[in-house]
A and B are shown apart, each in its own frame.
Chain A
């Protein structure tokens, strides 16, 4: 028994070492940095490095831009994650009902954004969303609707970012949901049909609850992905207009890697990580009793 345990430990060791070097040690480093005022001047002369305790965090709490970035990030998470899950589910189920020979084509088409470079996607969307020449506004005009200034108005810009993020992300969920859907035995649907469940009841009482663990996992992945929103606003809007699309990660990037305020940027990183852990913890402990067989 004892011997088995040590053998097991030996197998885990390489992964642990990698984790330690690339995750735990940097994490502790960041935690340490967040308690200092480390910046360019400290690099010039270590006499300029001070441990300032929680000051970076206090500043963060009173920092309007940080609150705005939190709001922006939360909007993308709160609107984007359910939208992504919904589209993943609906597209997975719809693709199943398409004739077999077209299925691959549709699936590929919907999956392509996932594997495309975010930068390329963001640039394409910049053209699509162009106020005067963009396809989106052209279509809206055909419907007799106005021509909104997608990337120029603060409220629409965050919506546009969310749309792009969801559009890029849901194909992945679709593939996962598709796979999970195939795992549901046909017998369950046969049984439900005989029991008297119609199409909608089968969907709501069998398909959706059976996919719940998968959707839960996707939700966790999406939340952690969207919580780290960066590339889309970085390319599409550079955080503007009026800071409306500056995500927490973008704010951290700017403070850390554009303005060299590593202490302050580390505090944002720690806060981001803490919230993510909190979310994972809550998610873990509120999962329904059924976790699949």
Chain B
């Protein structure tokens, strides 16, 4: 096991297009670091740079004590799990698992022992003689994981490993993966475009957009104190509402910082009744009501636009009705209107 350090890494394609700009982040030894971002943000490229499948334009990548920039993939002591599993279709599960050790010339007995051990760990012993096309989605995923585990690499690189599975299976495997991470104590870099996966899985998460790091922090901090307007809008579901001071009923009471601001309110932070004297008010007309079970998603039009609120109403609401909502000041996020950076509000 080893730590992974990425320092000031840039990747510029031959055509001059920059995929990654000055990316720095690190995964401590044994940490599960999640890299999250919308598609095209460069997160897969980052993983491929670490794996050695592509070379960095500038910057340094270190695994443990070694700088691996110039090393070919097989010498970096990493393993990778691919989005579509990348299982070899012409090999059985056993052969898929054994591939890495076999091409390195590991003795047969040791190889066999390793394969069976890992298969047992993942619960796929019964599948060893099958071909990938004869497996279910979950079994394929486990096989792909097993293939990565077999060589006991320093760093696991997981590229959207669950995205090809359906929702219930994804949740199940996410839990298994977390448990596996704990039991292996391995350093893992987990790339996903799904912010909820990132929130639930990571010890720390890196939010990547436009080839730049937006924020690195624990999921709770990222959620509670998004570093900028992008992170605020990207992390959390349903997404945060962005409002101007004018949106609120009592403009004068909205706390102000320096310069022009934009305010963010998460849908679930609205309340249908006042919580305290400092709460801000917002009035709107209900355009749409959607039940989420115990909660309701309301889409309102207010003076300046639309807003989504998630409430637990005490009475029946109807479309077309005017409704007043309250927001506690503490739930208000503020961002600089031009730079998008977070602005701390004075209480």
* Chain A residues with CB below 8 A from B78, complex form: 194
CA distance A197 to B99 in the complex (A): 9
* Chain A residues with CB below 8 A from B123, complex form: none
A195 interface hit (Cβ, 8 Å): yes
- 8 Å CB contact of A290 from B52, B72, B74, B131: B131
Quick check: A195 and B103 within 8 Å, CB to CB? yes
Q: A195-B99, A196-B100, A197-B103 in contact; A187/B86 too (CB < 8 A)? A: yes
- 8 Å CB contact of A195 from B53, B83, B89, B100: B100
Q: A196-B74, A289-B131 in contact; A190/B86 too (CB < 8 A)? A: yes
Give the Cβ gap from B71 to chain A, nearest Cβ, in Å.
Answer: 12
Q: A289-B131, A290-B90 in contact; A194/B103 too (CB < 8 A)? A: no
CA distance A190 to B74 in the complex (A): 10
Quick check: B86 and A188 within 8 Å, CB to CB? yes
Stretch of A82-90, A203-211, A222-230 at the chain-chain interface: A203-211
CA distance A293 to B86 in the complex (A): 13
* Chain A residues with CB below 8 A from B103, complex form: 192, 195-198, 201, 205
Quick check: B100 and A292 within 8 Å, CB to CB? no
Shortest Cβ distance from B100 into A: residue? A195
* Chain A residues with CB below 8 A from B53, complex form: 190, 193-194
- 8 Å CB contact of B84 from A187, A197, A290: A187
CA distance A39 to B209 in the complex (A): 84
Quick check: B99 and A205 within 8 Å, CB to CB? yes
Chain B contacts with A in 64-101, Cβ cutoff 8 A = 72-74, 78-80, 82-84, 86, 88-91, 99-100
Chain B contacts with A in 40-79, Cβ cutoff 8 A = 48, 51-53, 72-74, 78-79
CA distance A191 to B48 in the complex (A): 11
* Chain A residues with CB below 8 A from B48, complex form: 190
A185 interface hit (Cβ, 8 Å): yes
* Interface-centre pick from B79, B89, B131 (highest chain A CB count, 10 A): B89
* Chain A residues with CB below 8 A from B131, complex form: 289-290
Q: How many pairs of residues, A versus B, come closer than 8 Å at their CB atoms? A: 72
Quick check: A209 and B90 within 8 Å, CB to CB? yes
B14 interface hit (Cβ, 8 Å): no
Q: A197-B103, A293-B133 in contact; A190/B80 too (CB < 8 A)? A: yes
B346 interface hit (Cβ, 8 Å): no
* Interface-centre pick from A194, A201, A212, A290 (highest chain B CB count, 10 A): A194
B315 interface hit (Cβ, 8 Å): no
**B184-225 to A contact mask, C-beta < 8 Å, 1/0:** 000000000000000000000000000000000000000000
Quick check: A196 and B82 within 8 Å, CB to CB? no
* Chain A residues with CB below 8 A from B110, complex form: none
**B281-321 to A contact mask, C-beta < 8 Å, 1/0:** 00000000000000000000000000000000000000000
* Chain B residues with CB below 8 A from A210, complex form: 88-90
- 8 Å CB contact of A292 from B84, B89, B151: B89
Quick check: B82 and A206 within 8 Å, CB to CB? no
Quick check: A196 and B104 within 8 Å, CB to CB? yes
CA distance A209 to B86 in the complex (A): 15
Quick check: B88 and A194 within 8 Å, CB to CB? no
Quick check: B88 and A185 within 8 Å, CB to CB? no
* Chain A residues with CB below 8 A from B99, complex form: 192, 195, 197, 205
Quick check: A191 and B133 within 8 Å, CB to CB? no
CA distance A32 to B80 in the complex (A): 64
Shortest Cβ distance from A187 into B: residue? B86
**B130-174 to A contact mask, C-beta < 8 Å, 1/0:** 011100000000000001000100000000000000000000000
* Interface-centre pick from B72, B74, B133 (highest chain A CB count, 10 A): B74
Quick check: B89 and A194 within 8 Å, CB to CB? no
Q: A185-B84, A201-B103, A205-B103 in contact; A194/B74 too (CB < 8 A)? A: yes
* Chain B residues with CB below 8 A from A196, complex form: 73-74, 100, 103-104
CA distance A28 to B72 in the complex (A): 63
* Chain A residues with CB below 8 A from B100, complex form: 195-196
Give the Cβ gap from A210 to chain B, nearest Cβ, in Å.
Answer: 6
- 8 Å CB contact of A194 from B80, B84, B91: B80
- 8 Å CB contact of A206 from B83, B88, B147: B88
**A162-203 to B contact mask, C-beta < 8 Å, 1/0:** 000000000000000000000001011011111111100100
* Chain A residues with CB below 8 A from B79, complex form: 194-195
Give the Cβ gap from B79 to chain A, nearest Cβ, in Å.
Answer: 7
* Chain A residues with CB below 8 A from B104, complex form: 196
- 8 Å CB contact of B86 from A191, A198, A205: A191
* Interface-centre pick from B72, B83, B90 (highest chain A CB count, 10 A): B90
Give the Cβ gap from B45 to chain A, nearest Cβ, in Å.
Answer: 13
CA distance A137 to B188 in the complex (A): 64
Shortest Cβ distance from A191 into B: residue? B86
CA distance A210 to B100 in the complex (A): 18
Quick check: B82 and A187 within 8 Å, CB to CB? yes
Shortest Cβ distance from B157 into A: residue? A194
Quick check: A293 and B89 within 8 Å, CB to CB? yes
* Chain A residues with CB below 8 A from B88, complex form: 188, 191-192, 205-206, 210
Shortest Cβ distance from B95 into A: residue? A205
Shortest Cβ distance from A190 into B: residue? B53
* Chain A residues with CB below 8 A from B73, complex form: 193-194, 196
Shortest Cβ distance from B99 into A: residue? A195
* Chain B residues with CB below 8 A from A292, complex form: 89
* Chain B residues with CB below 8 A from A290, complex form: 89-90, 131
If A185-B84, A195-B74 are given as contacts, then 7 extra A-B residue pairs at C-beta distance below 8 Å, sorted by A number, are A187-B82, A187-B83, A196-B74, A196-B100, A205-B99, A212-B90, A290-B131
Give the 4 A-B CB pairs with smallest separation, nearest first: A195-B100, A196-B74, A187-B86, A191-B86
Instruction: Provide 14 A-B residue pairs closer than 8 Å at the C-beta atoms, listed in order of the A residue.
Output: A187-B83, A187-B86, A191-B82, A191-B86, A193-B72, A194-B74, A194-B79, A195-B151, A198-B74, A205-B88, A210-B89, A292-B89, A293-B89, A293-B132
